[in-house]
Structure 1
Amino acid sequence: MKKLVFASVLALGSLTAVTAAAPVLHDGIMDVVLQEEYTEISADEVPQAVKDALAADYPNATLDKASVNESQEYKLEITIDGTAAVLYASEDGEWIQK
């Protein structure tokens, strides 16, 4: 009986030691993620370099919607064989990973 009580106390004591986490101290700096603002534009307003890159790299793609931000980065919402996708490109037609 003493062994059972001792084992129970030991088990409970070890669980509380595991769950007692050390406090997390912050240095007062917060990470802020800003959502980029894109303004919708017509397909005619997309630079020719971006159109050429789209035609060369995604020949079966249909441009559904185009938008641009202040940094002149273009967000292209396309459809490829019935599947929707979003691409980002610089005004020079270089693809951007986001």
Structure 2
Amino acid sequence: MKKLILSAAIVLGSLSMHAETAVITNEIVKTVNDQDGYKEVDGVPAAVKKSLDEAYPGVVLEKAWVNDKKEYKIEVTVRGEKSIVYTDATGKILQK
């Protein structure tokens, strides 16, 4: 009987060692780079999207920024290559 009680105590003791609570913290930090006058936005006007689709078939918009003059700085991926394109609010591609 002693062996049975001792065995139960060992088994229960070993199980309690693995029953610790894990604390996981996720910190999401979103930074906005305003050094060149552009502020990050979540989307672009439909005219800008249409203009980019026509100019660069298969374009994927990654990030977009806008300045006070409503000019958009857009990070795009075309055929696996990332680049920056500047447009105005009507979708006209600007040279910068």
Task: With the length of structure 2 as denominator, give the TM-score of the two structures.
Answer: 0.61
Aligned residues: 62
- Per-residue displacement from partner, 1:42-65 (whole Å, max 9, x unpaired)? 12xx11110110111112111000
Structure 1: gaps of 5 or more residues:
1-34
Corresponding residue SS for 1:88? strand
TM-superposed deviation, 1:36: 2.9
What is the correspondence of 1:28-39 to structure 2 with a 5 Å cutoff?
36-39=36-39
Corresponding residue SS for 1:78? strand
Question: Take 1:59 and 1:82, find their aligned partners in 2: how far apart are those partners?
Answer: 12
Structure 2: gaps of 5 or more residues:
1-34
Residue of structure 1 in register with 2:69 after alignment: 71
Question: Take 1:47 and 1:61, find their aligned partners in 2: how far apart are those partners?
Answer: 15
Question: Take 1:81 and 1:52, find their aligned partners in 2: how far apart are those partners?
Answer: 18
- Per-residue displacement from partner, 1:67-93 (whole Å, max 9, x unpaired)? 000010000100111111000000011
Q: Report % sequence identity.
A: 42
Residue of structure 2 in register with 1:58 after alignment: 56
